[in-house]
């Protein structure tokens, strides 16, 4: 449908056809994502994938605004959700509101996503009560990589109750959807069965109400890390490598530019 997807549509998709989500950071990628996905996430993974940062902790509000504006220009239908970067929301609800409002006002995003469980519930409630739709994100929360001691699977054994409590708290506070990252299949199944809002999994099994991946990961455009949960649908990095090598060889052999790329003094067809 041409009508833009709303948070209410996402909420209503609970238990139905799985929600299709990908990240996007640029206008051309947003156009592609928009054709096939329900939700386009301007993830703070942009810092790692496009800016060469070692993790998402160095991502700034300015980076999110810039990429958010680019993505908005490429979307007609998919719901645009933008990540709140590390340091922009944890100190308290009022600061979180100011930064979430800025992200939405300056980019056109319809919702924000923030990481964290029970300790973020008050903030999620504060934002939703003031007109900001919020997507939660529990399980592996990459902004907490140092506290978690790495990008490990979350919720194994006795730890499952903690992640379940986090998901409950954030959904109870008003989040309209919940990203579950890198949790076990039984836990994803349990959380999905219990929450009234859709779960969107990344490394969280097909039990979830939807799936999300970093688009550059699934296209084979980013290979610094290769998480087990990523399925490669293309190998664009090796394709780009091949193309650039061919260009370099052509230039060195004076095989490019060819006659068809050259301007004559008199304007002919296509000149």
Residues in touch with ligand KIV (CB under 6 A): 23, 41, 43-45, 83, 179, 181, 202, 212, 214
Rounded Cα gap, residues 111 and 39, in angstroms: 10
Q: For strand 111-115 and strand 19-23, is the pairing parallel, antiparallel, or unpaired? A: unpaired
Does 115 count as an annotated binding residue? yes
Q: Which is nearer to ligand KIV, 41 or 132 (CB)?
A: 41
Contact region for Na ion (CB under 5 A) — 22-30, 76-84, 194-202, 239-247? Answer: 76-84
CB 24 within 8 A of CB 74: yes
User: Interface with Na ion by CB under 5 A: which range of 44-52, 89-97, 175-183, 262-270?
Assistant: 44-52
- Any known ligand binding at 194? no
Contact between residue 101 and residue 133 where contact means Cβ atoms under 8 Å apart? no
Phi, psi of 195 (to 5 degrees): -75, 145
Scan residues 80-109 and list those touching Na ion (CB under 5 A).
83
Q: Toward ligand KIV, which CB reaches closer, 177 or 214?
A: 214
113 labelled binding-site residue: yes
182 is known to lie in a ligand binding site: no
Of 43, 125, 133, 174, the residue at the interface with Na ion (CB under 5 A) is: 43
Judged by beta carbon, residue 68 or residue 190, the one nearer Na ion is 68
Catalytic site includes residue 181: yes
Q: What b/e string do you get for 185-224 counting C-beta neighbours within 10 Å, with b at 16 or more? A: eebbbbbbeebebbbbbbbbbebbbbbbbbbbbbbbbbee
- Bridge partners, 137 (sequence order): 115, 179
Q: Please answer whether residues 153 and 125 qualify as being in contact, where contact means their C-beta atoms are separated by less than 8 angstroms.
A: no
Site string for Na ion, 177-196 (x = CB under 5 A): --------------------
Containing 243, the helix (H) or strand (E) segment is helix 236-252
Rounded to the nearest whole angstrom, what is the least distance from the CB of residue 270 to ligand KIV in the complex? 42
Pair of tokens at residue 73? 């220009």
Catalytic residue, from 181, 185, 237, 260: name it: 181
Of 214 and 221, nearer to ligand KIV (C-beta) is 214
Query: Using CB under 5 A, which of 44, 166, 181, 209 touches Na ion?
Result: 44
Q: Name which of ligand KIV, Na ion, none residue 13 binds, using a CB cut-off of 5 to 8 Å depending on partner kind.
A: none
Contacts of 230 (CB under 8 A, 6+ apart): 213, 214, 217, 218
**Does 45 carry a binding-site annotation?**
yes
Q: What is the DSSP string of 187-214?
A: HHHHHHHH-SS-EEEESS-TTSSEEEE-
Q: Judged by CB, which is closer to ligand KIV: 62, or 250?
A: 62
Tell me the sheet residues that pair with 82.
42, 112
Footprint of Na ion on this chain (CB under 5 A)? 43-44, 83
Instruction: Indicate the annotated binding residues for Mg(2+).
Output: 44, 83, 115
Residues in the annotated binding site for 3-methyl-2-oxobutanoate: 44-45, 83, 113
**Active site amino acids:** 181
């Amino acid at each position: 449908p041409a009508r833009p997807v709303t948070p209410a549509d996402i909420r209503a998709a609970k238990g139905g056809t799985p929600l299709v989500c990908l990240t996007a950071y640029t206008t051309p990628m947003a156009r592609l994502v928009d054709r096939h996905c329900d939700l386009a996430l301007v993830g703070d993974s942009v810092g790692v994938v496009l800016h060469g940062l070692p993790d998402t902790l160095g991502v700034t509000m300015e980076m999110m605004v810039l990429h958010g504006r680019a993505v908005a220009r490429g979307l007609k239908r998919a719901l645009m959700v933008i990540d709140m970067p590390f340091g922009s929301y944890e100190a308290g609800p009022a600061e979180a509101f100011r930064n979430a409002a800025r992200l939405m006002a300056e980019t056109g995003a319809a919702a924000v996503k923030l990481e964290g469980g029970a300790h973020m519930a008050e903030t999620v409630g504060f934002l939703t009560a003031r007109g900001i739709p919020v997507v939660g994100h529990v399980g592996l929360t990459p902004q907490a990589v140092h506290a978690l001691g790495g990008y490990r699977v979350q919720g194994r054994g006795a730890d499952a109750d903690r992640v379940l409590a986090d998901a409950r708290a954030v959904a109870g506070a008003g989040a309209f959807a919940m990203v579950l990252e890198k949790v076990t299949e039984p836990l994803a199944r349990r959380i999905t069965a219990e929450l009234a809002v859709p779960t969107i999994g990344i490394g969280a099994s097909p039990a979830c109400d939807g799936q999300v991946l970093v688009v550059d990961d699934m296209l084979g455009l980013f290979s610094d890390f290769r998480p087990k949960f990523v399925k490669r649908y293309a190998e664009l990095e090796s394709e780009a490598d091949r193309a650039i090598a061919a260009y370099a060889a052509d230039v060195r052999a004076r095989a490019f530019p060819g006659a068809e790329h050259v301007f004559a003094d008199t304007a002919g067809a296509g000149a």
